Structure 1
Amino acid sequence: MARAIYILPALILLAVAALSSIYIVDEREKALVLQFGQVKAVREEPGLGFKIPVIQEVVRYDARILGLQTQPLEVTPADERRVIVDAFARWRIIDLVEFRESVGNGGINTAQIRLERIMTAAIREVLGSVNSDRVLSEDRIPLMVQIRDIARRQSASLGIEVIDVRLTRTDLPQQNLAATYARMRAERQREAADEIARGNEAAQRIRAAADREVVEVTSAANAQAEVIRGQAEAERNRILAEAYTRDAEFFAFSRSLQAYRNALTTEDTSIVLTPDSQFFRYLDGSRPTAP
């Protein structure tokens, strides 16, 4: 009976010790087994592990790809136009022992702080060597690659790997936006004025060519009309001359009728002539010989 009193607590202590010596590593984690602060084992594969109770402890770290969003940073590019930039970095732990020695008990949070400092320095170094137009353009992939390579080299001593860097924001400071918009507006207005001037010049050339063509066509038409008119007049005179030679009396009579038609165009026409005028020689019943 006395033995049972001592055996039961011993069994309980053994069970507790056995349970505390077992630890589980999740597939999303990596673990270090520490003994008095020193690394005794590294577990990067998921599954069960064993440690010495009380003496050893297990420190777990996230094995997944982690993200870091930097704070907005004011950068001065080569052309002295300040821009506001922030970036997003993706990174992961690749060496647990080196990571533990670099960040100590701070873990992921300390690594994030140190990586952000590295990122800030890399952003200033890369963007400070180019003009702001490249920073503000949509094609910023070469700049992001340079920032990633610098951050990767400088963060290797932390036991981490920078996988990718993206510039998520590249804007001008608020006080520079108005001046930039005014300059862009002036450039667009200048381009519009140039286009309008070129359009007016082209329109003037087309108008002048059209006017010259109208003058040429009109002149040619007038010349042709004069030729036709001259030919018609000549033919008319020929016909009249031929008719005159055939019957001079009839020709005189016809010309007199035409003169009467032209003179007596309206009903209220009045003509004052002497009685012996030759004008009405075909209206008084006589047929005098044509002079």
Structure 2
Amino acid sequence: MRAIYVIPVIVVILVTALSSVFIVDERKKGLVLQFGEVTQVKETPGLGFKIPFIQDVVYYEDRILGLETAPIEVTLLSDRRLVVSAFARWRITDVVKFRQSVGAGGEERAQQLLGNILTQSIPEVLGRTNQENVLSQDRTVLMNDILTIAKREAEALGVQVIDVRLTRTDLPEQNLSATFARMRAEREREAADEKARGGEAAQRVRAAADRTVVELTSDARRQADVIRGEADAERNRVLAEAYGRDPEFFAFLRSLTAYDVALKGGSSSIVMSPDSEFFDYLRGDRAPDARPAAPAPAAAPATAPAAP
């Protein structure tokens, strides 16, 4: 019969002993609460002891946590509006103050409070600058200013904000169409200016080329006239020299050329006397004895090329 009473007692003792022991993981921090009041802080990993059934243990993260804010609209110094979101890293430094600040909400409640802090600090910092600084690649100064404000405000929560980064800086949806239209108009205007400058340059090049063509053509024509004049003079000199050497042969050659031109078949007719001087070289194989009149050198160019 004693065994019947001993076993329940042993079970109660074991349950009581187990309830008085708790384990803190190396990634956690522990608080022992008694009727909602903090009675013990356990920040090192290992075993801990509490009063069973009276005291409770609450665990909080000892690791670095991340927080991503919701996108918010910010008015810049230049009255431009941007949609901005940020990412922050934080950790719990004072677990007692953290418990007093967030209550039973824990890390979720802390995320909400930190989000509110960032939502207030981001417009405060970006409202003092312009769009070029926000959209530039180097925004370290702006992020450090936001981090300074967030650190100061988060101390009351028992947490430390380690870093803040701007992850999104876009135009509001209602402004995108107008902004794109303005950018397109600016690009089209620049393209039109470039085309106009290109057309003007092409016109200058074309005018210079036309002027060069005229100058080269005029110079070539002048040189051709000079060469042609010199050739005519040389031809006349050669003809005059040839006539001076053998006037009879020259007269014979002139007559043969005249025969070749006059006796070709055609629709024209020539009526002349049979004893005309034109037929002197056709009557025999000897030239006439008297030929006092020599042909003028100026008339030679018209017939000399037909000699071949």
After TM superposition, the score normalised by the length of structure 2 is 0.82
Offset from partner CA, 1:57-92 (integer Å, 9 cap, x none): 211111222222222212222222322222222221
Structure 1: distance between partners of 2:259 and 2:64: 118
The SS at the match of 1:251 is helix
- The letter for the 1-side match of 2:171 is L
In structure 2, relative to structure 1, the CA distance for the partners of 1:281 and 1:131 (3 Å cut) is farther
Deviation at 1:137, TM superposition (A): 5.0
- The letter for the 2-side match of 1:270 is S
Offset from partner CA, 1:141-182 (integer Å, 9 cap, x none): 543333233222221221212223233333222221221111
Any stretches of 5+ residues in structure 1 without a counterpart? none
- The letter for the 2-side match of 1:174 is E
Q: How many residues align?
A: 289
Match of 1:58 in 2: 57
Deviation at 1:197, TM superposition (A): 1.7
Structure 1: distance between partners of 2:96 and 2:259: 134
- Determine what percentage of the aligned residue pairs are the same residue: 63
Deviation at 1:10, TM superposition (A): 4.2
In structure 2, relative to structure 1, the CA distance for the partners of 1:74 and 1:243 (3 Å cut) is same
User: Which deviates more, 208-217 or 246-255?
Assistant: 208-217
1:24-39 aligned at under 5 Å gives the runs: 24-39=23-38
Structure 1: distance between partners of 2:23 and 2:59: 10
1:81-92 aligned at under 5 Å gives the runs: 81-92=80-91
Any stretches of 5+ residues in structure 2 without a counterpart? 294-308
Structure 1: distance between partners of 2:160 and 2:64: 10
Structure 2: distance between partners of 1:86 and 1:258: 106
User: Which deviates more, 24-33 or 251-260?
Assistant: 251-260
Structure 1: distance between partners of 2:95 and 2:115: 20
After TM superposition, the score normalised by the length of structure 1 is 0.86
The SS at the match of 2:281 is coil
Q: Does residue 123 of the first structure (1) align with residue 126 of the second (2)?
A: no
The SS at the match of 1:162 is strand
Deviation at 1:7, TM superposition (A): 5.2
1:204-283 aligned at under 5 Å gives the runs: 204-263=203-262, 267-275=265-273, 278-283=277-282
- Let me know the Cα RMSD of the aligned residues: 2.6
Deviation at 1:234, TM superposition (A): 2.0
Offset from partner CA, 1:189-241 (integer Å, 9 cap, x none): 01111221222222223223332333333333333333322222222111111
Structure 1: distance between partners of 2:277 and 2:137: 103
Match of 1:151 in 2: 150
In structure 2, relative to structure 1, the CA distance for the partners of 1:284 and 1:176 (3 Å cut) is farther
In structure 2, relative to structure 1, the CA distance for the partners of 1:143 and 1:251 (3 Å cut) is same
User: Which deviates more, 36-45 or 86-95?
Assistant: 36-45
